[in-house]
Amino acid sequence: MSQLAIKGGSAAAEPLKQVKWPKLYPEDEAAVLQALRQGYWGGIGDEQSPNRKFERAFADYHDAAYGTLVANGTVSLELSLKTGGVRPGDEVIVPAITFIASASAIVCVGAVPVFVDVDPDTCQISAAAIEAAISPKTRAIIAVHFGGYMADMDAIVAVANKHGLFVIEDCAHAQGASWRGRRAGSWGEFGSFSFQESKALSGGEGGIVLTNDAQLHEKAQLIRNIGRHTGQRAYNHYVPATNWRLGGLQAALLLSQFGKLPDQAEQRHRNALLLAEGVNRVEGLRSLPVDERLTQWGCYFFVIAFDAAAFGCSRDAFVQALRAEGVVWTTTGYNRPLYYEAAFSEEAMRPLLHESVPLPDYGQMRLPNAERWATSMVTILHYYLLGDRSGVDYILEAIHKVKQHVDELK
C-alpha cells in the first residue's frame, strides 16, 4: 500500500471524508414547513400535533406503550428519576464509563451517583457490580446501552427485581437496538433517549421517556408540562413542576426523520457485524462480542478495544493515522471514568445536595475494567454504517494500511 496519509500519502478512505451527519431530506423540510403553517410551533399541541404523533410512533417501534417527548436527553433522565420517586439523598447506581449526563442527572435531582464497574468484554454496566453496590439507600439503576450495544438486561432486571429497585435504560446511543427481539427502552420502568444532532435519530435536540406503566406515564406528563395534563391549556396545575416540553417544529423534524430509522437501524446492525468480523482479524484490535442475544446493534459508535503492544503503536497514534486516512469520525471515546470528572468533586456537588447527605470520595475510586476501557477504547461513529458495505470496506482498508505501516508511527 502507498505511504500513510499522515506522512503525506493519499488517503485510503478518501470518500468517507464526504460523509456528513445529520442528513437532511426534502421531506424533512416539507414536514417542518407544514408544522409552521398549521400552527404547531410550541410543545403543547393536540392529538394531531407532530409531538403526539412522534410519541406514539416512537414508543410503538420500541415496544413501549407510552412516550413523553422532552427538550433533550439529559432532562429525559431527570424526568425518569423524578417520576420514579428518587428523592434527595437516595442513591442511584450508574456505570463509570458513560457520558456525564447519565450521572449528572442524578445529582440534579438531589441524589447521589454510585459508580460501578463495567464488563471487561462488552464495556456495559455489570450486573454483578450493581448487586455488590446496593445499599439501603439505593433506589434505582441507570443501565446505559453504551455505544448502542445493549447491556445484559436479563441479568440487570433480575437484580433490580430481587432488591425492589427500578431501572432506567439510558438509550441515548441505542435507537433501534434490541435484546432477544425486544427493543431498548422497554425492559426497565423507563427508557430514556436523546435526539441530539450526532445521534442515530436526530432532531438537533430532543429526548423522550418511554414506559409501559400508565400511572408512571401520567406522572411524567405532569412533571414535563408544569403540572398540567398533556394538551391542557387552562391554568390548572396538579403538581409543582418545570417545563421540559419540546417545540412542535423540532417534533415535526423528528417525526420525518423517524420514518427512515427502521431501515437505517437494520443497515447499521448489518454493517456493524461485518465491521466486527473484519476488525477481529487484525492483531491488536478487538470488537465487542457478537452476542446472539443482541438481535439488533444500535451502534451509535462502533467500539474497538485497542492493544497498543500487539498493534505496534500508541492508541493516539492509531487514531490520528486513521483520521488522516479518511475515517475522520474516529475518537478515543470518553477517555476516563466519570469519577475523575471535576463535576463530581465535593466542591461541585455540595451546593446541589442537602448538607446532611454524605458524599462519596470519588477521587479515591479505581474500577479496574473502567480504567482499562478508558485507556484502550477506540470508537468509530455510526455515520459510515448506512447503506451498502462500502463504508465498512473503506474503514477496513484504512485499518490494514495503518497496520502495514505501523513502524512509521512508533
**176: helix, coil or strand?**
coil
Count the Cβ atoms, other than its own, within 10 Å of residue 407.
8
Q: Write out the catalytic residue numbers.
A: 99, 170, 173, 196, 199, 228, 235, 245
Closest CA to 209 of 236, 248, 161, 169: 169
- Cα 87 from chain centre: 24
What would the pLDDT profile of 192-215 be if each residue is shown by its tens digit? 999 999 999 999 999 999 999 999
Task: Name the DSSP class of 406.
Answer: G
Determine contact, residues 145/170, Cβ cutoff 8 Å: yes
* C-alpha to C-alpha distance for 356 and 350, rounded to whole angstroms: 10
pTM of the model: 0.97
User: What average pLDDT does the structure give for the chain?
Assistant: 96
**Mean pLDDT of all residues in 373-396:** 97
**Mean pLDDT of all residues in 170-176:** 98
Domain boundaries, the chain: 26-260
What would the pLDDT profile of 345-372 be if each residue is shown by its tens digit? 999 999 999 888 999 999 899 999 999 9
**Mean pLDDT of all residues in 57-62:** 98
- Phi, psi (rounded to 5 degrees) for 172: -55, -30
For the chain, what percent of residues have pLDDT higher than 90? 95
Q: What is the pLDDT of residue 1?
A: 60
The yes/no answer on whether domain 26-260 falls in CATH 3.40.50.620 is no
User: Residue 6's pLDDT band (boundaries 50, 70, 90)?
Assistant: very high
Q: Is 404 exposed, middle or buried (0-12, 13-18, 19+ CB in 10 A)?
A: exposed
Q: What is the pLDDT of residue 157?
A: 98
User: Residue 234's pLDDT band (boundaries 50, 70, 90)?
Assistant: confident
Determine contact, residues 106/81, Cβ cutoff 8 Å: yes
Q: What is the pLDDT of residue 230?
A: 76
**Residue 9 is placed in which grid cell?**
500519502
**Mean pLDDT of all residues in 302-325:** 98
User: Residue 235's pLDDT band (boundaries 50, 70, 90)?
Assistant: confident
What would the pLDDT profile of 89-135 be if each residue is shown by its tens digit? 999 999 999 999 999 999 999 999 999 999 999 999 999 999 999 99
